[in-house]
Amino acid sequence: MARLRITTFGTDCEGIRLLGDPSHPEPEYVRLDLPGATVVVTRVVASDPNRPEYWVHLDVLRPERSAAIPEGQVRGRVVDARADRVGEHAGDTHDAVVRPLDEYRRVRRAIDALTGDDAQTNLTRDLLAAELNVAAEELAESVSGLLDSPELYHLAVRVRPEWGNDR
């Protein structure tokens, strides 16, 4: 297995270059820890072993997801995301995913805010549940359409660490 080296990419950037060379394979997993999240690059053996593929995972540290947050780490949350496609302004692509996500969150909050068990509350809850299903389908369609696009060239997710009491 090839050893990874930190490489300088310009004046204010350092990183690791994975070469995808099957005769000197890099580790199966390459991990970068940052406050509130972990980024993991996973090498995948594709149909052609001479041409590996990679998964890039962003794992935001949330106590709801796992039993414990590693020692010295803080919680994080995703506060923004962007996907860029050739020939499109980043805002166009951003809106295609963010608007359905915002609508989904709005309906979810409305359902969570409902209390009681009377007929009116149950009717409202049923109507909102139907609206939530539509919002979820629109969100899934937007994300699927975006990821299926051959013009997609960049995904960015902004993670905000939750220092101390900023929960």
Looking at the structure, do residues 116 and 135 belong to the same domain, yes or no? Answer: yes
Q: Are residues 103 and 138 in the same domain?
A: yes
The verdict on 63 and 91 lying in the same domain is no
C-beta atoms surrounding 75 within 10 Å: 19
Q: Output 32-36 pairs: Cβ under 8 A, ≥24 positions apart.
A: 33/73, 34/159, 34/161, 35/73, 35/74, 35/76, 35/161, 35/163, 36/60, 36/61, 36/73, 36/74, 36/75, 36/76, 36/77, 36/159, 36/160, 36/161, 36/162
Q: Which residues pair with 162 in a beta bridge?
A: 75
- End position of a domain, from candidates 74, 97, 128: 74
Residue 24 has pLDDT above 80, yes or no: yes
DSSP state of 10: S
CB pairs under 8 A, 24+ apart, for 77-80? 77/36, 77/159, 77/160, 77/162, 78/157, 78/158, 78/159, 78/160, 79/158, 79/159, 79/160, 80/157, 80/158
Last residue of some domain: 34, 57, 74? 74
pLDDT in tens, 119-140: 777 788 788 878 877 777 777 7
Please say if the pLDDT value at position 165 is more than 70: no
Q: Structural domain tally of the chain?
A: 2
Looking at 32, 50, 74, the residue that finishes a domain is 74
Q: Is residue 27 part of a domain?
A: yes
Kindly report, residue by residue over 148-161, the tens digit of the pLDDT: 667 776 777 778 78
With 70 as the cut, is the pLDDT of residue 1 above it? no
pLDDT digits (tens, 9 = 90+) for 66-108: 556 667 778 888 777 777 777 766 666 566 666 677 777 777 7
Question: Are 17 and 55 in the same domain?
Answer: yes
Q: Is pLDDT larger for residue 1 or for residue 48?
A: 48
Q: Is residue 59 part of a domain?
A: yes
